[in-house]
Structure 1
Amino acid sequence: FPIDNEDLVYGRWEDNIIWDAQAMPRLLEPPVLALDPNDENLILEIPDEKEEATSNSPSKESKKESSLKKSRILLGKTGVIREEPQQNMSQPEVKDPWNLSNDEYYFPKQQGLWGTFGGNIIQHSIPAMELWQPFFPTHMGPIKIRQFHRPPLKKYSFGALSQPGPHSVQPLLKHIRKKAKMREQERQASGGGELFFMRTPQDLTGKDGDLILAEYSEENGPLMMQVGMATKIKNYYKRKPGKDPGAPDCKYGETVYCHTSPFLGSLHPGQLLQALENNLFRAPMYLHKMPETDFLIIRTRQGYYIRELVDIFVVGQQCPLFEVPGPNSRRANMHIRDFLEVFIYRLFWKSKDRPRRIRMEDIKKAFPSHSESSIRKRLKLCADFKRTGMDSNWWVLKSDFRLPTEEEIRAKVSPEQCCAYYSMIAAKQRLKDAGYGEKSFFAPEEDEEDFQMKIDDEVHTAPWNTTRAFIAAMKGKCLLEVTGVADPTGCGEGFSYVKIPNKPTKQKDDKELQAVKTVTGTDADLRRLSLKNAKQLLRKFGVPEEEIKKLSRWEVIDVVRTMSTEQARSGEGPMSKFARGSRFSVAEHQERYKEECQRIFDLQNKVLSSTEVLSTDTDSSSAEDSDFEEMGKNIENMLQNKKTSSQLSREWEEQERKELQRMLLAAGSAASGNNHRDDDTASMTSLNSSATGYCLKIYRTFRDEEGKEYVRCETVRKPAVIDAYVRIRTTKDETFIQKFALFDEKHREEMRKERRRIQEQLRRLKRNQEKEKLKGPPEKKPKKMKERPDLKLKCGACGAIGHMRTNKFCPLYYQTNVPPSKPVAMTEEQEEELEKTVIHNDNEELIKVEGTKIVLGKQLIENVDEVRRKSLVLKFPKQQLPPKKKRRVGTTVPCDYLNTPHKSIHRRRTDPMVMLSSILESIINDMRDLP
């Protein structure tokens, strides 16, 4: 075999091995890597496989591209379409050959709003991080949940304010200066620099420090912070192109220069927007001037305090950064479990006993909604229950269990998780109060093919649905509805966080399914348009002659189609038949989505930053309000149905015409009176007005088996059915109506099937009879007579010897067991005769028909009950009944005092005066007991 590596066999590579670093014969030099370009085992680059041209003519794709390019250039010159300047793709981006840092592989990936602008480390207060009980409750009842972040002023049970009388209001200027001086001394004593002061609940009060007010514009925000949680004010600024003077100075917040907007809309060059940002959400905020007449009153148990307010902000719509868990979801259940464990661990840390121990009652008091078994399940992991001894009825910490440290406990449950859970239970309570069950809380996870499910608008606006939709949209998984039911403002000034697919979908009209119209074979078919006529159309569109001559046939057709489509969209142009509606591409759909987001973003900034004082005058007339409401409903219907004003006016005229026609028919029928026309199908007599419109009464004449006629009335209230019936009655004659009623197609088809089935049965019976005739009568085998045993029995009926009276061989057997001549129960024929005598068909009030409802008269029900009651009566002959045993007469004479006088059944129990007086006395007693 040939040698693979000659240097390994013949080279002096062992001289380069360092056997002893202290005694090296010479200094080694780093070897230079040499690559042989002729080595077949080395792959230095991926070779490009170019297809050999089989002919000198260009391919179909290149032809199509060149023709498309020419038509696009012409359409861009005429202004029909706007071509964006294309980047030169032939020149790749030149990379600095001396930059070996590979920084592009270490840049953080930015996904939507998740890119952090500047430092975003949020440090909450110590009570918030440790989830102190007043600020982060372990249990909230329905009343507290309904008052979520809107607690009413409560009456104190103790303290100075619990007593009635005047209370003084104290200023806080001296207290604010004193507290600021103390904190400065503490900061200097610790060596200067930044110092965290929010360590106790007393540090969270608003009686000291700087204070600003921020009012949420949403009635029920998807995420709300609890007391003690921190947030940041950031000033996002977008530089101007060229020379930029820099961001303007702001009193609050840190300035962040951003190129891409952290919101749904983009910032304009030179625009600065302040935002309230934390781990839960990011929301724009707008500074407003505080009125000089406004101030803040702080109320405690000891008294009232007053302080000045300097600035107030309005917070816009939130952009959620934390997903709210759904009810009974895995994340919600895990939070409940972890919250319980964290509470148990902190109880163990607070225990001063050794070994540490806690009671079950302390946990049940904090978590009343948890069952004792679920609490015991969490306790068994870290403690043992002692039934006897010194620790009886205590849960004692296991000796081999290590309690988590405070840092580990804080990492297990964060304040953000608690806020998301509180938001979920608050929204769940609101849905329950609105009448929704737990099964309807979720918007199902939709597929792109069948994306929108018919669920209620209130469920769409639930925070677990809106936050999930927003976060998914920021990750690029879907788009947002932008305008719709989840808009918190309700007037189109906010975003609707409802999922829609990335690709444009075709809306289905359930009311009218229009047939697909094709242009194949018509004069609108562009393939049949000649080149001469197509060039003539371009001349009408104003295309220069020299540009037309440069185009081939199909390029001319492409320009005609594009220009006709654009003019048809704008509503002008006589050649709309050559227009072709095309579906929106994904890029166009995304562009429209961005434009709509930018429009609402600018509108929200304009409205919330406006300093205009809105009037609260409510003296306008109710008639004007109703007109405005009706106009708004009409506009909404136009937008939803995508109908123009002319189409709506035509629909209103058609409705008025139908209403006039109904009124005329009602007047004509009232003039003619109630005309009963004997007809086997129906006869119309009058149109009577009702609360819901007009009703039609149809009198139908029926004929029973004996040929006797009777009439039934049917009431119709649907306007469409009334119009159709009146139209047929007024335009068709009686013969047509009879044929239409008696010989409709469906009835005739059923009759044909029934006739075929009966004929087939008759043929089968005849065939079987003929077969039996050909075979002849079957031969009967003679029965073997069994020899009867000679019994010495005497019959009690006939007196013969050899059988009993119950034996069938007795000649008098069938005579003695003859059934009674009188029937016991009523036969079917007798029931039918009874029905004819009891139920009279002449009465029209027995059965009434109103649309799909059948109203049965009270008399009919009573008659049917009478027939049923009589048919259930059984009559037995007295001879067949067993004889009754006569009661034996006693020998002793009964006592005289036991004989009571005869009393009638309907006797009067008490004197009416006595009864009335007792009733009045009870009423007087009840009135005395009233408070």
Structure 2
Amino acid sequence: ILLGKTGVIREEPQQNMSQPEVKDPWNLSNDEYYFPKQQGLRGTFGGNIIQHSIPAMELWQPFFPTHMGPIKIRQFHRPPLKKYSFGALSQPGPHSVQPLLKHIKKKAKMRERERQASGGGELFFMRTPQDLTGKDGDLILAEYSEENGPLMMQVGMATKIKNYYKRKPGKDPGAPDCKYGETVYCHTSPFLGSLHPGQLLQALENNLFRAPVYLHKMPETDFLIIRTRQGYYIRELVDIFVVGQQCPLFEVPGPNSRRANMHIRDFLQVFIYRLFWKSKDRPRRIRMEDIKKAFPSHSESSIRKRLKLCADFNRTGMDSNWWVLKSDFRLPTEEEIRAKVSPEQCCAYYSMIAAKQRLKDAGYGEKSFFAPEEENEEDFQMKIDDEVHAAPWNTTRAFIAAMKGKCLLEVTGVADPTGCGEGFSYVKIPNKPTQQKDDKEPQAVKKTVTGTDADLRRLSLKNAKQLLRKFGVPEEEIKKLSRWEVIDVVRTMSTEQAHSGEGPMSKFARGSRFSVAEHQEHYKEECQRIFDLQNKVLSSTEVLSTDTDSSSAEDSDFEEMGKNIENMLQNKKTSSQLSHEWEEQERKELRRMLLVAGSAASGNNHRDDDTASMTSLNSSATGHCLKIYRTFRDEEGKEYVRCETVRKPAVIDAYVRIRTTKDEKFIQKFALFDEKHREEMRKERRRIQEQLRRLKRSQEKEKLKGPPEKKPKKVKERPDLKLKCGACGAIGHMRTNKFCPLYYQTNVPPSKPVAMTEEQEEELEKTVIHNDNEELIKVEGTKIVLGKQLIENVDEVRRKSLVLKFPKQQLPPKKKRRVGTTVHCDYLNIPHKSIHRRRTDPMVTLSSILESIV
């Protein structure tokens, strides 16, 4: 975030100069009081004009990419350091680090001179990508507390810091001075929780979200290193903010939704318009390749559809293979192009594809991206739904609907980004309270109170006064009341005690046990509790360390204890009831494990089909595994066993749950007919039905036509070829023709085959590879381990199958090489010469003797 003189324009206080609207004196309907109330997400606290930089408004491609592959999407807003291919940092070795103090002062003076030259006043400096660098201007850091926020700004987008302050009743000294941001006095809080009197809370606010921020002191040991192709630069950091949970103001479109498809279409159209504006030719023209390079995921037909609206394709002439702008088409201006696609729409789309990729990596398919309306009772299905509930297209839609009063939020639950109850869960719940259904306790049948002991009309005055004395009503007050007033007080006090969960006389309570107003009040209290907790945690200056001796098991125990207390508070159950439920669950789990282990140890009762029989099961804790022995049958009916090892706890739990709770028929259907298989079978059934229809139609047509007339076959005359057979010597055929009388004598197949047939290879495999050996193939999760013996046996079978055997009679006789009489290379035969030979020249001998003497 660049502040101060680097481009943030100070807003002037807004003055309402508009004249009051003159009402029609004859209009007495008071319609303005009956119009639906307009509830906007963005409050009227100060100005909401956000001025982004020019590269952000024009959607420059490095900052707003037109296409991102799976790797870039996984690195969304977490880019790794690049390895430069050219520049000073592309070479290995030590590199100097340059300070930026002089550069910052020099840049500030340049901007001041530019401002004075333009006549003074505020000037917008964020015009080029070079102005967006962090090497100059004032710089602060903002760290998001959410791991994957629902909305994230791109480079060059602007935001504001606002200081929300709630006045104290009576005399108020005013809001304290803050180093950053503008002060806004608010009576109603723009967050889910309310501000206390005299409380000030800073917030980041833009067109995407509003989030509270908390200023922290920067440690003196921290600094910033800026890395470019030319070198390293160092600068000081003054302040750092922690950003709380976002309150979305912009809805993220869902995958394959209408809004997402419209954004893709408009983004492509805007890119085409800007390409035409950049063209220097007259008439303006562009190539299809430039668009396909920027949008590789788009088909050529979809790009051509966008181009046909504004251009024509020339196949001949000077502009052949170019798309030329139509003469009667007016290119939209830059303002119109900016209004078509905004940077906020791009950010919402990027957030959607990033969350979609995370769900794909986690193993979810396209059909599970949206939360189903009916939730399954199984824990595994609930976990899948939990992941989908936390997707940004669901959380942003839920928050915006809740702020408009259409629903409430779950507040605590699966979509909490902190995971420890310190954040809000943006999941929709209805405005009216819903009673939690307990499967263990059957719902009681609703009965009327007429004619029962709960009927207040049958309650005598003496018993009613006795009840009031038990409720603590003074005797003087009781004597003043008439009969029906006493009955009314009994009904009122019984209802109050029933709402609080106390009172033995709840049978006299009337009305709903948990009204809508109480539900709304409970919702506000819960929102306020989490809001205050988040402010306390994120503004704390306490340094928390993870280097402690506590184990992860202790942490999980504490988390489980917190969840149990939370459930106890929500369900209003006593500790004894909860402990009894926990003991019952543990007893059932132990019984299930004993049954599984007993059935496994009873014997090798393997089934004949491909289903599994489980023999060893440990708990799904870390370090344990599940071994599944599967029994197969070969073609001869002989059985053999293969072992499969599973180490993932989730897979072990799902397998054990299905094996212990479902019957054999369900398991077979579960194993064989999954969704993909069902879809393939449906397609196959449709294809077969279509073929049967065609056959019936063709048969009906043939019946109507009658039996076809048989045409006499034409006898083809053999061409008179002057060919001489090499076997029998006759003219008119070759030796490979079957009409030759000696064909079957000369082309007799060999008595012994040259290579092994398929049947012989199968018999060899059966003799070499023994299925009885369990060590040949092992399955561990998604990994298959092949034994060394299996690989050696397969190599032996392959080697034997590659041997070719030819009879010696069919091989042509070998011609013996004739030995020549002449001596070849006779110049190589040199007579033997002795080593110590006498030199031919006596002068050479004498000179060598004299050299040795000297």
**Same structural fold, with TM-score higher than 0.5 when normalized by the shorter chain:** yes
Counterparts of 1:560 and 1:920, CA distance in 2: 148
Structure 1 residues 127 and 557 mapped into 2: Cα distance closer, same or farther (>3 Å)?
same
1:881 shift after superposition: 44
Superposed CA offset, 1:848-883 (max 9, x none): 999999999999999999999999999999999999
Partner SS state of residue 649, structure 1: helix
SS in 1 for 2:138: coil
Residues 772 and 524 (structure 1 numbering): CA distance in 2 closer, same or farther, change over 3 Å? farther
Query: Secondary structure of 1:455's match?
Result: helix
Q: 1:864 to 1:459 in 2, by over 3 A?
A: closer
How has the CA–CA distance of structure 1 residues 859 and 635 changed in structure 2, closer, same or farther, with 3 Å as cutoff? Answer: farther
Contact 1:673 1:686 in 2 (8 A): no
**Distance of 1:453 and 1:906 partners within structure 2:** 102
Secondary structure at 2:360's aligned position in 1? helix
Moved more, 906-915 or 852-861: 906-915
Q: For the Cα contact (< 8 Å) 1:466–1:497, is it kept in 2?
A: yes
Distance 1:775 1:131, change over 3 A: closer
Which deviations, in whole Å up to 9, do the C-alpha atoms of 1:330-387 show, x marking residues without a partner? 1111111111111111111111111111111111111111111111111111111111
Structure 2 counterparts to residues 541-580 of structure 1, below 5 A: 541-567=471-497, 570=500, 573-579=503-509
Could you say what secondary structure the match of 1:452 adopts?
helix
RMSD across aligned positions (CA): 16.2
Once the two structures are superposed, residues 724-781 of structure 1 have per-residue CA deviations (whole angstroms, 9 ceiling, x without a partner) of 9999999999999999999999999999999999999999999999999999999999
CA gap of 1:699–1:488, structure 2 versus 1, over 3 A, is closer
Q: Taking structure 1 as reference, are residues 922 and 730 closer, same or farther at Cα in structure 2, changes over 3 Å only?
A: farther
Query: What CA deviation, in whole Å up to 9, does each residue of 1:98-136 have, x standing for no partner?
Result: 999999889997525322211111111111111111101
How far apart are residue 314 of structure 1 and its match? Answer: 0.6
TM-score for both structures, normalised by structure 1 = 0.60
Match of 1:783 among 705, 713, 719: 713
- After the TM superposition, which of the residue ranges 742-751 and 140-149 deviates more from structure 2? 742-751
1:607 Cα deviation after fit: 0.9
Partner of 1:514: 443
CA contact (8 A) 1:674 1:686 kept: no
Give the superposition deviation at 1:583: 3.5
* Deviation per residue, 1:67-98 (Å, 9 max, x gap): xxxxxx99999999999999999999999999
2:162–2:203 CA contact under 8 A, matched in 1: yes
Shift of 1:559: 2.1
Distance 2:384 2:54 in 1: 43
What is the distance in 1 between the residues matched to 2:679 and 2:263?
67
CA contact (8 A) 1:386 1:392 kept: yes
Unmatched 5+ residue regions in structure 1?
Answer: 1-72, 925-931
After TM superposition, the structure 1 stretch with the greater mean CA deviation from structure 2, 471-480 or 187-196, is 471-480
Q: Is the 8 A contact 2:839 2:845 kept in 1?
A: no
Q: Corresponding residue for 1:102? A: 30
Q: State the alpha-carbon separation in 1 of the partners of residues 599 and 10 from structure 2.
A: 66
Q: Write the deviation string for residues 222-279 of structure 1: whole angstroms up to 9, x where unpaired.
A: 1111000111111111111111111111111111111111111111111111110111
Q: CA deviation at 1:626?
A: 5.2
CA 1:589–1:390 in structure 2 vs 1: closer, same or farther (change >3 Å)?
same
Residue 473 of structure 1 and its aligned partner are, at CA, apart by 1.2
Cα distance, 1:485 vs structure 2: 0.8
Residues 769 and 790, structure 2, Cα contact 8 Å, conserved in 1: yes
**1:38-69 Cα shifts (integer Å, max 9, x gaps):** xxxxxxxxxxxxxxxxxxxxxxxxxxxxxxxx
Q: CA deviation at 1:553?
A: 2.8
Match of residue 647, structure 2, among 712, 717, 721:
717
Q: Cα distance 1:813–1:852, how it changes in 2: closer, same or farther (>3 A)?
A: same
Give the conservation status (yes or no) of the 8 Å contact 1:444–1:453. no
Report the more deviating stretch, 151-160 or 791-800: 791-800
Aligned to 2:414: 485
Note the C-alpha offset of 1:540.
Answer: 2.2
CA shift in 2, pair 1:666/1:892, >3 Å: farther
In the alignment, is the contact (CA less than 8 A) between 1:446 and 1:453 conserved in 2? no
Moved over 3 A (4+): 73-110, 444-455, 517-527, 564-581, 621-643, 651-924
User: Which deviates more, 506-515 or 736-745?
Assistant: 736-745
Distance 1:607 1:374 in 2: 51
SS at match of 2:2: helix
- Structure 1 residue 436: Cα displacement: 1.2
Distance change in 2, residues 1:895/1:602 (3 Å):
same
Counterpart CA distance in 1 for 2:558 and 2:522 is 30
How far, CA to CA, are the matches of 2:417 and 2:657 in structure 1? 50
Higher mean alpha-carbon deviation, 719-728 vs 273-282, is at 719-728
8 Å CA contact retained: 1:446, 1:452: no
How far does residue 503 in structure 1 lie from its aligned partner after superposition? 1.6
8 Å CA contact 1:675–1:685 kept in 2: the answer is no
Deviation at 1:582, TM superposition (A): 2.5
Q: 1:653 to 1:830 in 2, by over 3 A?
A: same
- Mapped to 2, the partners of 1:90 and 1:353 lie a distance apart of 49
> Is 1:460 the counterpart of 2:363 in the alignment?
no
Cα deviation per residue 1:290-319 (whole Å; 9 max; x = unaligned)?
Answer: 111100000000000000000000111111
Q: Output one character per residue of 1:861-909: Cα deviation in whole Å (capped at 9) or x when no partner.
A: 9999999999999999999999999999999999999999999999999
How far residue 546 of structure 1 moved from its aligned partner, in angstroms, is 2.9
Change (3 A) 1:410 1:115: same
Residue aligning to 2:288: 360
Task: Determine if contact 1:669/1:686 at 8 Å carries over to the other structure.
Answer: no
Q: For the residues of structure 2 that align with 1:677 and 1:275, how far apart are their CA atoms?
A: 65
CA distance in 1, matches of 2:837, 2:581: 74
Q: CA deviation at 1:197?
A: 0.4
Shift of 1:610: 0.8
Q: Which runs of 5+ in 2 are unaligned?
A: none
SS of equivalent residue, structure 1 residue 456 = helix
TM-score w.r.t. the length of structure 2 is: 0.65
CA distance in 2, matches of 1:144, 1:844: 44
**2:245 match: secondary structure:** coil
Distance 2:848 2:570 in 1: 69
Identity of aligned residues (%): 97
Question: Structure 2 CA distance, aligned partners of 1:677 and 1:583?
Answer: 55
8 A contact 1:74–1:547 mirrored in 2? no
Give the Cα–Cα distance (whole angstroms) in 2 for the partners of residues 880 and 421 of structure 1. 75
Distance 1:592 1:90, change over 3 A: farther
Separation in 1 of the partners of 2:615 and 2:68?
66
1:689 alignment partner, SS class: coil
The question of whether the paired residues in 2 share the 8 Å contact of 1:357 and 1:397 is answered with: yes
826-835 vs 614-623, which deviates more?
Answer: 826-835
Asked whether the 8 Å contact 1:384–1:396 carries over to 2, the reply is: yes
Change (3 A) 1:525 1:895: farther
Q: How far is 1:441 from its partner?
A: 1.2
Higher mean C-alpha deviation, range 308-317 or range 82-91: 82-91
Q: 1:717 to 1:653 in 2, by over 3 A?
A: farther
Q: Identify if the C-alpha distance between structure 1 residues 133 and 843 changes in structure 2 by more than 3 Å, giving closer, same or farther.
A: closer
Residue 9 of structure 1 is matched in structure 2 by none
Is 1:413 aligned to residue 413 of structure 2? no
How many Å apart are 1:459 and its aligned residue? 1.0
Whole-angstrom CA distance in 2 between matches of 1:226 and 1:461: 22
Give the drift of 1:599: 1.2
Q: Are residues 97 and 350 of structure 1, via their aligned partners in 2, closer, same or farther at CA, if it must alter by over 3 Å?
A: closer
Q: CA 1:506–1:682 in structure 2 vs 1: closer, same or farther (change >3 Å)?
A: closer
Mapped to 2, the partners of 1:413 and 1:275 lie a distance apart of 27
Q: Pick which of 578-587 and 526-535 moved more.
A: 578-587
Residue 670 of structure 2 corresponds to 740
| Partners of 1:847 and 1:857 within 8 A in 2 | yes
Please tell me whether the aligned partners of residues 99 and 233 of structure 2 are also in contact (alpha carbons under 8 angstroms). yes
Counterparts in 2 of 1:464 and 1:852: CA distance versus 1, 3 Å:
closer
- 1:492 to partner: Cα distance: 1.1
The structure number with the bigger radius of gyration is 1
Match of 2:144 among 206, 209, 216: 216
Q: Are 2:491 and 2:510, in contact at CA under 8 Å, matched by a contact in 1?
A: yes
Aligned-pair CA distance for 1:173: 0.4
Q: Is the 8 A contact 2:621 2:649 kept in 1?
A: no
Task: Tell me if structure 1 keeps the 8 A contact 2:9–2:122.
Answer: no
Deviation of 1:458 (Å): 1.2
2 CA distance for matches of 1:923 and 1:222? 101
Distance 1:622 1:895, change over 3 A: same
